[in-house]
Structure formats: structure tokens, C-alpha cells
Amino acid sequence: MNLINISPLWKEYELIDSGNFEKLERFGEFILARPEPQAMWDKIMSENEWNQMSHANFRRDEKNPEKGLWTLKSQMKEQWPISYSFNNLQLNFRLGLSSFKHVGLFPEQADNWNYIYQKTSSFDKPKVLNLFAYTGGASLAAKAAGADITHLDSVKQCISWAKENMEASKLDNIRWLVEDAFKYVKREAKRGTKYQGIILDPPAYGRGPEGEKWVLEDCLNETLKYCANILDEKGFLVLNLYSMGYSALQAETLIKSVFGNKKVEIGEFYFEDKSKRKLPLGLFARF
């Protein structure tokens, strides 16, 4: 199993400190303090240092723990740009502060972007499907490598945000779908469509645009079965999981049970803070 440190891949992002179920991180010119359930240890820096350094601080709503509020300092913007570059891959993103603590970017996915770019580049005019695509980092990586990319998410606002990132990255002609992922791959399997790459970054829980219910442990196996029907024999697949309680070995076994005896790369992404402590931020399985 590979443990991949994402910190060296970034110039415009860094994890400064972590602990007490929070993380202090820099996105471009701004420093944010946000909840982080993986950070079970104590902070190295004091609360006063965190407050002095941070431009925005997120606190959960006691009545609705799924949401919360940002406290902003005067110089903090509600939207700002950030860029990512690695070899020939150059991506630009518009970040913003949401009521769910997210900012429109999961920086630990940078290694998957590099993988997707590399694999997509090995095909001639490949078709790639990005499910649960959020604001489009993986879609942009595939498009930059020449893919005919279908970007699917159940939330219209995420599609609009992803379009902004596409334009900022000087890319075009991504196919946008506001759709339920399970329904879509089921229809594609009936049509006999084939993709050279499929990317899945599913949440633990979610809703489709018509209220369809997604529960990871109930739906992922069946979704992967339909993906197996539409993935080219020589195609690549990337599965990413954030939810606590799952292991990379589970993802590997699941993929092999569906796709056969593939040589699956599994591992965990992490960032090192300035004290060299490792904060895990998701596991992956890919082939």
C-alpha cells in the first residue's frame, strides 16, 4: 500500500498546523481554519497563534452540524483564485467559502489529477467519465490531456463552479450533466457505451437531482458493476474514498471482485504540516 505525501506537489497550498479536530491551511494568499475529524491530536501552535494567522475561521452550527458559519477578517475575500501546476499540467481554480466548510477544492486530489492526466494522454481521443465530479479538478486534468470528458454531478451549483474553473484553466468543450450517477451508468450500460477512463469520488451520503438516495455502502458495489460494463478493456479507473471507517484494502477487494484480477494500486493521501505530522485525507484505489 502506498502512502503518498501530497505536500511537495503544491506551491499555493500548505497545511500549517493540525489538531483538536481542526486544520490550519493556506490556500494561495489566505489562511483558513476549518474542522478536520482526522486530526485527533493536539495542536502544536497556540489558539492565539491560530487566530492571529487565520483570515477566516469556520464554526459549525450547533442546531445543524452539517452547516456552519465563517468568521472573516477585513482583508479576507469570499472568492479568490489558486493554481496548480505539475509538468505539463496547469490548472486554475476559483475558490469560495461555503456553508459546508468546503472551498471548492480538495488539494489532496493532486496526485490523482497527475495520474488521470498521464493515463488519458496514453489514448488517442479517449472518452472519460467523471462521476460525483464536484468542481471539476479531475475533469480538467482529463480535458487537458485531450479527453472527451463527461462531467456529472447532482448539484447545479457545482456544475456552474466547474465551468468557471474550466474557463480559468483556458479549456473548453466539457460535457456537463446534472444527473444521478447510478441511473446514468445504468443507462450507459444499456446503450453499450464505452469509456477509456472512469473516475469516482463518491460521498458517504448524497441526493440525486430528483431526490434519489445515495448511501455509499449500499450503492457503490452496484455502481461499480455498471462501470465495469462501460469501461474499455484497456481503460483506467480511479476510485477515491473520504469516509472514515473504510480501508484501502476494502476498495481493492471491491474493485477486484467487480473488474477481475486487475493490478490495483491502493494507498492513502496525506499532507505534512510544518511540524512534519501526517494528516490522512482520503484513500484511493486505481488501475
pTM, entire model? 0.95
The predicted-structure confidence for 72-103, as pLDDT tens digits, reads as follows 999 999 999 999 999 999 999 999 999 999 99
- pLDDT reading at 54 higher than 90: yes
**pLDDT value at residue 103:** 97
- pLDDT reading at 61 higher than 90: no
Q: Tell me what percent of the residues of the chain surpass a pLDDT of 70.
A: 100
The predicted-structure confidence for 111-148, as pLDDT tens digits, reads as follows 999 999 999 999 999 999 999 999 999 999 999 999 99
Between 261 and 84, the more confident residue is 84
**pLDDT value at residue 242:** 87
Domains of the chain: which residue ranges?
Answer: 105-286
- pLDDT reading at 187 higher than 90: yes
Whose CA is closest to 102, among 65, 139, 58, 136?
58
CA quadruple 225, 239, 178, 96: dihedral, nearest 10: 170
CB count, 10 Å around CB of 20?
15
Please give the single-letter amino acid code of residue 221: N
Cα distances (angstroms) measured from residue 4 to each of 81, 89, 256, 279: 26, 19, 22, 11
**pLDDT value at residue 138:** 98
What CATH superfamily is the domain 105-286? Answer: Vaccinia Virus protein VP39 (3.40.50.150)
Average pLDDT over residues 189-208: 96
As a whole number of angstroms, the distance between CA 66 and CA 68 comes to: 7
- Helices and strands per DSSP (H, E), number in the chain: 7, 17
